[in-house]
Structure 1
Amino acid sequence: MPPRIFETEMTTIALKSAGYTAKTNLFNDLTLTIGSGDRVGIVAGNGAGKTTLLKCLVGENELTRGDITLSRGARIGMVPQAVPEKLLDFSLFDAVATGLDAETLESESWRVDVVLDTLSTPEDIRNLPVRALSGGWQRLMLLMRAWVSDPDILVLDEPTNHLDLEKIARLEQWFMGIGDVPVIMASHDRSFLDAVTNRTLFLRPETSRYFPLAYSRAREALEQEDASDATKRERDLKEASQLRQQSAKLKNIGINSGSDLLQKKQKQLRERAEKIEAQAKILHKERSGDIRLANRGTHAKVLVSIEELTVAAPDGRKLFSIPKLHIFQGDRIVLLGRNGTGKTSLVSMLRRVLMAGEGIEGIKATPSLVVGYMDQALDFVPEKLSPFDFISALGQGDQRTRSLLAAAGIDPDAHWTPGALLSHGQRARLGLLALRLMEPNFYLLDEPTNHIDIAGQEALAAEIIEHDASCVLVSHDRAFVREVSNRFLVIEKGWLIEADDPEGFFAAMGV
């Protein structure tokens, strides 16, 4: 059923015994109230129900069980993950304006200019079609479209996807100025969650956990509770085992002696053991799937040498210069720079030399390099092929392919689904699986954590470090950059310079 309306002076949205079952149970018995000043981050694995819950809150989906109640007159602004197809040919201004009803737009079109100004939208892009905008400005368009109607509650699905650090900083600052409007967001960006939320919901199939804390502190509390649950479960199951052993002994004695009293006692002990086992809490395990990498290794110490290289935009405009740069085995380099400074352009040049064999003066590579490349748009994952066809074509047998896909967190029902119809998370995991099977010894990664859940981000970071995988990466995920990288190259004032750490750049971006 759609959310029910109730009278209250304070804007609130409440869930009572809420549950949703699709092919599996996504969440169950979820009860909580979100009110003024609450900024809730929803955390769960890919495909674990975050978007489903958000759609239930705004009335696009219906709960399988339980209720959602909403204060009377409250307006909800929804920021989805994807831009609706119908908006792609609208100008940015007109796309934001669709957030207003016709009557309000006719009399108060100034609202659109105000919200565009609030997020410092450049004048020269306001009349561009949405499809011509960067992914970051498309994301901010969706936010402005939701905010222009002055909603009482704001719901966001992965708001930082495709945003560079400058826009993430702008978004974090924007959140500081929206007052006590309740906010509910699903996000995999750990640093962003810490910056803007004050409550965290860990969404789980059976017992979800809700803490009045931002992500990092909430996760510490969650780990403590999970550890306590594990200890209690172990203790309960040990007690049940002991009761069963006692029951078995009494049963043998009772049968041999013909004592009805002993047989009755052993039955009571067995029933008590069964009750304890039935009540023992099932421990939560993330279902997001494994992420693994490979590193076939190379004897070369210097993998790539760059000297007197100019990096240019597609139109030939100079972006920056590199006087000299050596990339050594074991280097985990992150490229840092403002949006448009040429990070992706450099990765593209490296890819053309290392993968396509194109000769570019100023770039030399060892012949033993085998490159694994992942772009943020996941263009290397075929849209027409199914996951099964894609992976089996990499030299895997049928049974091995099915096992690999399942281990990567791709449901059996999706094994034959065309790549274009997979979720972003499934496509990202499929791409990482393909990279692993190619067994590269050098990785080029452009925003590899886009669309991957937190467990997957941490697994990817651990794999890169464990395999001592040499890589050049572009990432706006601050937590991932801090975990993975051991060299930091910053594009600044037309030059590529080396920094000791990323903190100075992060501070300059305002994050």
Structure 2
Amino acid sequence: MTSINIRNLGITLSQQLFSKLNLVVNAGDRIGLVAANGRGKSTLFRAIAGTLEATEGEITRARGLTVGYVEQNVPPALFDRTFYEAVLDALPAEQAETESWRVDVTMESLEVPEEFRTRQMKALSGGWQRLALLARVWVTEPDVLMLDEPTNHLDLGKIAALEEWLNALPRDVPVILASHDRAFLDAVTNRTLFLRPEQSQVFALPYSRARVALDEVDAADSRRYERDMKTADQLRKQAAKLKNIGINSGSDLLVVKTRQLKERAEKLEDAAKPAHLERSAGAIRLANRGTHAKVLVTLDDAEVRTPDGTLLFKTGKQFICQGDRIVLLGLNGTGKTRLIHRLRNAIANPETAHDGIKATPSLVLGYGDQALADLKGADTPMQTVTRRFDVGDQRARSLLAGAGMSIDMQGKPIDRLSGGQKARLGMLMLRLANPNFYLLDEPTNHLDIEGQETLETELMAHQASCLLVSHDRSFVRAIGNRFWLIERKKLVEVESPEAFFADAALVR
């Protein structure tokens, strides 16, 4: 049964986001919506939900259809509400009074611990806040569910739980979700919509297989365009030859033939469409100044503790060597970020003693954390670049433009940038630091798939040495050549991340 029929839909805001979009949403559909940052995913969701008017085209919904839209951000009005109250408030007043049991059923299905249900929203982690927003929508029993970046801030256990929950939903409830998590899309979708300014493509396949199909379509379009333009060029050359012959011979027939060839060439050129070229949200480039040292960091049974002194784990004897791309694995709370902080301090302050950690003197650090805390919200991107690095205004503007920031954006406070724009600014800061070792804590947070793949390519191309933490399974699999696991208060090396991924999926 058709729930939603989208025909020739187009939306233009400051620029054309997409046009001539056609999509039919049926029972059983699990549609992954894929596009670069700022290319219209959330806008399309608002149009489907009925809170934004399209520029052109139409959206037809089945009679009486209710659409549940889970947005990315928590409304400020909910921060002082408890988890339970926030979900209860989503029900109509009469229903909330007589059917509050629906809240408990929803929370049970999402495996929300009892102690979290009475906590205020502002006291919850970003992951639990996102699950609260999902609960608020699901408790209303919508006919169609739409999720905007549902895995943001979720650890591997919660991502696995969300995958399980989505796959257990009644098959008659269509789900449309926008995500940059490639492994998540593969786990929960059966159709993929690649949203584009023109020629959006839909495939009845999960993301990875759909991406292969998309690349084949784009390659065929590119070959067709090149062939058509070559044919048009040949027609013009033939027309030019006939024109010369016609002028010399005075043949009216050749003049007519010349005009016909030109018209055929013009029609072919007008009809020919170049293959789609994705407008980048901003380039990501890294650097590697290199070092002659083979061993970059030595860990000699270093201890990692909580602020109150509780031992989390010991590292044992470990070495970080040139060319290592080490992924640090471990459940939340085991001390991954604390180890990164210890390493950062040891590298930044080599003159100070750091028990159990020794960095080579030639090490130059590139550090990026998941909260992008090194970017001051009140500063502008322009101020951030010119204050930290010896570059003139013109060079700074050029660098920022290359990272996807317009002149207007360069002068805005960083707090007003989107997550994707902040992430690309953070990557530019890393590049300008020109490091020879990277410490990266959740580097793919806020990056679209294009950005994730570019970051992977840059790390590999520059043979960058790094230690990183990430919940992005696709990124970990692509980047890592060594894997350290924190378990039973020890740091051990493992051959692959797959066993950890499987175990993490069982932890709720």
TM value normalised by structure 2: 0.96
Give the aligned partner of residue 20 of structure 2: 29
> Quick one: which of 304, 315, 319 aligns to 1:322?
315
Out of 217, 220, 223, the residue aligned to residue 228 of structure 1 is 220
Structure 2 counterpart of 1:336:
329
Larger displacement relative to structure 2 (420-429 or 402-411): 402-411
2: CA distance, partners of 1:498 / 1:234: 51
Q: Which residue of 1 aligns with 2:492?
A: 497
Paired position in structure 2 for 1:280: 272
The yes-or-no answer on 1:458 pairing with 2:453 is yes
Distance 1:316 1:162 in 2: 27
Which of 196, 199, 202 is the aligned partner of 2:191? 199
1:488 paired residue number: 483
Q: 2:294 matched to 1:294?
A: no
Look up the match of 2:65. 74
Residues of 2 paired with 1:460 and 1:382: CA distance?
Answer: 23
How many residues align? The count is 502
SS of residue matched to 1:273: helix
Counterpart Cα distance in 2 of 1:112 and 1:313 = 36
Cα displacement (A) at 1:356:
5.1
In structure 2, distance between residues paired with 1:87 and 1:441: 44
Q: 2:130 aligns with which of 139, 145, 154?
A: 139
**Which residue of the other structure, out of 385, 391, 399, is the alignment partner of 2:385?**
391
- 3-state SS of 1:86 partner: helix
User: In the TM superposition, what is the alpha-carbon distance from 1:11 to its structure 2 partner?
Assistant: 5.9
Q: Distance in 2 between matches of 1:371 and 1:186?
A: 34
Q: Distance between the aligned counterparts of 2:493 and 2:335, measured in 1?
A: 16
Paired with 1:320 and 1:175, the residues of 2 have a C-alpha distance of 35
| TM-fit CA distance, 1:275 | 0.9
Residue 379 of structure 1 is aligned with which of 360, 373, 377?
373
User: 1:55, 1:61 within 8 Å by CA — same for their partners in 2?
Assistant: yes
Deviations 1:271-321 (A, max 9, x none): 111111111112111222321100111111111111222212234332222
Residue 397 of structure 1: CA displacement? 2.7
Moved more, 102-111 or 239-248: 102-111
Could you list the per-position Cα deviations for residues 350-399 of structure 1 after superposition, in whole angstroms to 9, with x for gaps in the alignment? 22222355643221111211111111111112212222232233222333
**Cα distance in 2 for residues equivalent to 1:324 and 1:83:** 44
Mapped contact 1:294–1:436 kept (Cα < 8 A):
yes
**Matched letter for residue 97 of structure 2:** E
SS in 2 for 1:12: strand
Aligned to 1:114: 105
- How far apart, CA to CA, are the structure 2 residues paired with 1:492 and 1:100? 43
Quick check: 1:93–1:127 contact (8 Å CA) kept in 2? yes
Residues 2-44 of structure 1, C-alpha deviations (whole Å, 9 max, x = no match) = xxxxxxxx46011110011122221110111101110000111
C-alpha distance in 1, partners of 2:357/2:339?
11
Partner of 1:444, secondary structure, is strand
**Amino acid of the structure 1 residue aligned with 2:127:** G
Contact kept? 1:18, 1:65, Cα under 8 Å: yes
Letter of the 1:215 counterpart: Y
The residue type equivalent to 1:372 in the other structure is G
Partner of 2:74: 83
Taking a change above 3 Å as real, the CA distance of residues 386 and 256 of structure 1, as seen in their structure-2 partners, is: farther
**Aligned pair 1:166/2:169, yes or no?**
no
Instruction: Pick the aligned partner of 1:362 from 356, 378, 395.
Output: 356
In the alignment, residue 492 of structure 1 is paired with which amino acid?
E
Cα gap change, 1:63 to 1:315, in 2 (>3 Å): farther
Aligned-residue offset at 1:151: 1.0
Letter in 1 for 2:93: A
Distance change in 2, residues 1:72/1:314 (3 Å):
farther
Cα 1:286–1:315, aligned 2, differ >3 Å: closer, same or farther?
farther
2:177 alignment partner, one of 177, 185, 191: 185
**Structure 1 CA distance for aligned equivalents of residues 494 and 133 of structure 2:** 35
Aligned 8 A contact 1:43 1:186 in 2: yes
| Other structure's SS at 2:39 match | coil
Give me the whole-angstrom Cα distance separating, in 1, the residues matched to 2:406 and 2:223: 31
Deviation by residue 1:414-462 (Cα, 9 ceiling, x = unmatched): 2222111111111101110111011011111111111111111111011
2:193 aligned partner, one-letter code: L
Aligned twin of 2:302: 309
CA displacement 1:195-214 (0-9 Å, x = unmatched):
00000001111100000110
Q: Determine if contact 1:79/1:142 at 8 Å carries over to the other structure.
A: yes
Q: 1:356 to 1:140 in 2, by over 3 A?
A: farther
Match of 1:148 in 2: 139
Within 5 Å, which residues of 2 pair with 1:247-262? 247-262=239-254
My pick for the range that moved more, 389-398 or 148-157, is 389-398
SS at 1:381 equivalent: coil
Structure 1 pair 497–161 and aligned structure 2 pair: CA distance change class (3 A): same
Moved more, 184-193 or 311-320: 311-320
Q: In structure 2, which of residues 256, 278, 282 is the aligned counterpart of residue 264 of structure 1?
A: 256
Match of 1:4 in 2: none
**Aligned-pair Cα RMSD in Å:** 1.6
Q: Which runs of 5+ in 2 are unaligned?
A: none
Are the aligned partners of 1:11 and 1:74 in contact in 2 as well (CA < 8 Å)?
no
Maintained 8 Å contact 2:219/2:275 = no
* Alpha carbons 1:11, 1:152 under 8 Å: kept: no
Scaled by the length of structure 1, what TM-score is found? 0.95
Q: Distance in 1 between matches of 2:68 and 2:302?
A: 47
Report which stretch shifted further, 12-21 or 282-291.
282-291
Deviations 1:21-76 (A, max 9, x none): 12222111011110111000011111111111111111222211111111122211
